[in-house]
Amino acid sequence: MGAGLRNPKVWIALACLLPLARLIALGASGGLGANPIEFITRSTGTWTLIGLLVTLSVTPLRRLTGRADLVRYRRMLGLFAFFYACLHFTTYVWLDQFFDPAAIARDIVKRPFITVGFSAFMLLIPLAATSTHAMMRRLGRRWQQLHRLVYPIALLGVVHFLWLVKKDLTEPLVYGAILALLLALRLPWGLNLLGALRARFVPARS
């Protein structure tokens, strides 16, 4: 196996591209159902939210396993979440609203779930723009403060989903519960729990 394939980043990137590959394959084979635009919007929206939650699980996983190196994968995961958010937004702007700025502005003001999704997307942009090592160094402590925006962004993502669902709230509530857990694992209660789980189940590394 070449050095490239031994790098977990390559495998993580390939895994992150699978939802897009699936959409392309379904599109090519006419498998996007009766409403392909809705299918693509829903799929890219779901993967944006999952991407945010996976990114937010890196820090608790580091604490649980004691593997500080996991942080190396966090930026790529966050950027993939942003990538799917861009696809989601593009699908909306292009296929749903036909690039009509007035219609889009009206929709953002009128439909609360669009207002919330749009706000989440706007907040993601400065995070993606400052995700480089150079920006990290330049911003210092302010980088961390800025990137705490990921918490309200994920919350807005869940609220967006809750607001757009008409009947069965189960799916957005499941995402909401996962987000609540990921946030709680950062509080003293959660830190204690992770410490206890680590002491009990994770063998100490020499």
Binding stretches for ligand HEM (CB under 6 A) = 38, 41-42, 45-46, 48-49, 85, 88-89, 92, 96, 114, 117-118, 120-121, 124, 153, 157, 160-161, 164
Task: Between 59 and 119, name the residue whose CB sits nearer to ligand HEM.
Answer: 119
Residue nearest to ligand HEM (CB): 45
CB 143 within 8 Å of CB 136: yes
Task: Between 170 and 206, name the residue whose CB sits nearer to ligand HEM.
Answer: 170
Which value, to the nearest 10 degrees, does the dihedral of the CA atoms of residues 65, 151, 49, 101 take?
Answer: -150
Q: Cβ 114 to ligand HEM, closest distance in Å? A: 5
CB 183 within 8 Å of CB 150: no
CB 32 within 8 Å of CB 40: yes
Q: Cβ 137 to ligand HEM, closest distance in Å? A: 27
Task: Between 19 and 117, name the residue whose CB sits nearer to ligand HEM.
Answer: 117
Task: Between 66 and 112, name the residue whose CB sits nearer to ligand HEM.
Answer: 112
Q: Cβ 181 to ligand HEM, closest distance in Å? A: 17
What are phi and psi for residue 204, nearest 5 degrees?
Answer: -65, 140
Q: How far apart are CA 176 and CA 155, in angstroms?
A: 8
Q: Cβ 115 to ligand HEM, closest distance in Å? A: 9
In this structure, the number of other CB atoms found within 10 A of the CB of residue 94 comes to 11
